[in-house]
Amino acid sequence: MRLGRTSFLALVFLVLPALAGCRADVRERLAVGLAEVNTRYVELVKAPETTLVPVEAAWLHGWQVLLVQTFTVPNPHYFYAALSDGGTVLVLSNRPDSFAQLTRSAGVRVDNASLAIKVAVLYLDVTRAYRSLPYRVDAIADVQWLPHPDAAEQQQRADLETKYADLVGPPTAEPSGTGWTVTAWRVNNRTLVRHRLTVAANGAVHDSPEVLETEIPAIWIY
């Protein structure tokens, strides 16, 4: 089942946590900061139909992360950005280098497994590109399977559920040198990907994705 971009957005954001909207002053500060980074986003941020959704990341001292989204048809828009207390803005979507700058600026110090997982998960969520359909899964049951599979697709799904029932799970972290190795799972359109992310003590992240399955019977976009 293929999805158009608008349908895709509605599906993806169903898995995002429902958080309170941002105050008007945050919107204005974000627009001012974006004027120095990416001017095409300024009008989007100021548009009344655009919502700003705060992303939980209390460990980023002096910064807040925001999902900027609008469902205008036929051209919906969405991106993640970070806003500092001083007004600096970093666009994070599809920009791992901006995430590295963010953790450096926030003075992140990763000294436990719980924080390593939080850093890795945020990295996966906010630096993803929406040209396809990427979303994290904590169990094989979280895959957005085709709603009306044929017999072959039904069997393929059953085989995958059996194969990965004990493999796919919530993110885990293990010590690795002076940092941590976090394992997380994600579906990207019709591929199942295992991510092994190296999280350094200073919050720097290096992702090593491994595609384990392709052409799975899942919803995808074009």
Residue-wise pLDDT for 54-63, tens only, equals: 999 999 999 9
CB 168 within 8 A of CB 140: yes
- C-alpha 215/C-alpha 14 separation (Å) is 23
What are the residues facing 180 on neighbouring strands? 175, 199
For β-strands 220-221 and 2-3, DSSP reports them as parallel
Domain ranges of the chain: 2-108, 134-221
Q: What is the pLDDT of residues 196-207, one digit of tens each?
A: 999 999 999 999
Residue 13 has pLDDT above 70, yes or no: no
Q: Of 5-19, 32-46, 91-105, which range is least confident?
A: 5-19
pLDDT at 89 over 80: yes
Q: Name which CATH class applies to 2-108.
A: alpha beta
- Alpha-carbon torsion (33, 37, 41, 42), positive or negative: positive
